[in-house]
Amino acid sequence: MRQKNEQMVIFIDDRPIRIVKKKELGEIPSKVDFDLVIDARLSPLKVENFSGHTCIINASIDQVEKMLMNLHAKSGIHFHALYIVAEDRKIYKQRIIKLYQLVEAAGGVVVNQKQDVLWMYRLGKWDLPKGKLEKNEKFETAAVREVEEECNVKADLGNKICTTYHTYTHKNKLVLKKTRWYAMHTNFTGILIPQAEEGIEKVEWMNEKQQIQALTNTYSSIRYVIEKSKLIQRIG
């Protein structure tokens, strides 16, 4: 089956940056839909001026690359979300990925028989099980393996939910972690064992009410995954 050219969402400093097609936003974006709309043909892309939900139109890929590097150079980001309208999203995606050292990972949104979802607590935030691919490993295999290693849960693989990209710095290099997320189901009723060597403090099954609370203390990328999974009716 041919892969769908899905929307690319990059998380820099926990802020979502979406590469979208023009048709996905309808007609010319306006301040009715965004706090700020910048036409890159008319105004320079100064990241310190971005605020709220900012939309950038008519930007060349060279302008976008320079803007992303400027974002990494700033000590703080003041906007909530950034939308970049691309004529050819595939080309933008390929060029953006080349700016970074790429790391591939996979994770799962695991649901049990009670329709509770598996969460883990690490580094002061609630998170979902995920991890890097081993050499020559497939995304699907890695996702199932990471769930078992990090939470002691055997799960059956379902459909792909989405792909996230988030950035960080390692040994003075900019890294882009590409994570494919999968829906999973399990009949597991045993003991949840957090993988302590990975810094995981606890693992819990959560119902919808508990998840809504957990979402107030998680990463924007995880909120995005839960939103795409459509397991929660309303995410505030």
Quick one: 78 and 136 in the same domain? Answer: no
- Within-domain flag for 45: yes
Quick one: 75 and 112 in the same domain? Answer: no
Show the low-confidence residues of the chain (pLDDT under 50). Answer: 1-3
Q: Which of 28, 63, 97 is the last residue in one of the domains?
A: 97
CA gap 211, 232 in Å, rounded: 8
Residue range of the domain that includes 55:
8-97
Q: Which of 70, 97, 124 is the last residue in one of the domains?
A: 97
Numbers of helices and strands, H then E, in the chain: 5, 12
Tell me, what amino acid is at 180? R
Quick one: 177 and 219 in the same domain? Answer: yes
Quick one: 108 and 91 in the same domain? Answer: no
Phi, psi angle pair for 221, to nearest 5°? -65, -35
Quick one: 18 and 73 in the same domain? Answer: yes
**What is the per-residue pLDDT for 147?**
97
Query: Per the structure block, which two tokens stand in for 220?
Result: 């924007």
**What is the per-residue pLDDT for 185?**
97
How many structural domains does the chain have?
A: 2
Quick one: 72 and 155 in the same domain? Answer: no
CA gap 233, 179 in Å, rounded: 24
CA gap 157, 148 in Å, rounded: 12
- Within-domain flag for 51: yes
Q: What is the CATH number of the domain that holds 145?
A: 3.90.79.10
CA gap 27, 120 in Å, rounded: 42
Quick one: 17 and 61 in the same domain? Answer: yes
**pTM score of the predicted model:** 0.90
Quick one: 131 and 224 in the same domain? Answer: yes
**What is the per-residue pLDDT for 5?**
60
Strands (E), 75-115: 79-86, 101-111
- Within-domain flag for 115: yes
**DSSP secondary structure of 52-82:** EEEEEES--HHHHHHHHHHHHHSS---EEEE
pLDDT digits (tens, 9 = 90+) for 170-215: 888 999 999 999 999 999 999 999 999 999 999 999 999 999 999 9
- Within-domain flag for 185: yes
